[in-house]
Amino acid sequence: MAYRAPAGRGYADVAAHFRQQIRNGELTPGDSLPSVGEIRQQFDVAAKTVSRALGVLKGEGLVTSRGALGTIVAKAPLVITGTDRLDRMSKNGLRYAPGETSSDHQVLLRSIADPEICRALELEPHDEVVIRIRVFRQDGEPTTVGLSIYPPHTVAVVPELARDVRMTTQFDKLYTERTGRSVSQGQKIARARHASQDELRALEINAPAHAAVPVMYTAVTFHDDERPLSYWEDVYSPEAQVPIGT
């Protein structure tokens, strides 16, 4: 069976359209999707195509059927990465999705010894970096611990990174404005590891001190045309549903 129709839009295209709207925050938890008739008209597809598309979204836990209300966006369907937040802000200016907040903001000057981070930022063990930490929440519940780590040469260009205040403009835009160099995002990698005690506290996970609690995290490094500029890491609550890829 073909994945999509040979001409025009298939069910995968219809599902992708609404998935992206949910991911971008244009459709929020509790919002109703258009009716089957409206979707048919919008995409010029058959009712069966719409049904298959909605079935895909339901299977992914993004939408649910609510009788007379039709198909609605499920509560807190997706937890997105920090890099996805950058993309969302560039598209529609939304820093937070509906119901999303952040707390426990910290700005730290620390020496770094983690071999993965040193390798990503081309630093020697125990070089000093600026670490910015925040906990993202959905409807008050913690979903993600976000860390962004900046080497001295990035902080020299964007000194706001070292100040204990929330950034109002993303570092990559400030860096480009001040240097004329474009900032590119490397490959985002997803891995699993055991959470640290600090991460467990931030995610409000009650576990004995000796317990090994697995968590998923994603990591990505930003570069200009000469060197790495920042390493970002997002650590997710075990219940989080995280979109991987596009």
User: Based on the domain organization, do 110 and 225 belong to the same domain?
Assistant: yes
Range of the domain at 58: 11-73
Instruction: State whether 56 and 138 are in the same domain.
Output: no
Q: Are 34 and 40 in contact (CB under 8 A)?
A: no
Q: What is the CATH number of the domain that holds 32?
A: 1.10.10.10
CA-to-CA distance for 62 and 14, rounded, in angstroms? Answer: 14
11 and 2 Cβ atoms separated by less than 8 Å: no
Domain for residue 246, yes or no?
Answer: no
Q: What is the pLDDT of residues 132-190, one digit of tens each?
A: 999 999 888 899 999 999 999 999 999 999 999 888 888 999 999 999 999 999 988 89
| Number of Cβ within a 10 Å radius of residue 21 | 15
DSSP letter for 32, please: B
Structure token pair of residue 179: 């240097």
pTM: 0.74
State both tokens at 234. Answer: 């997002």
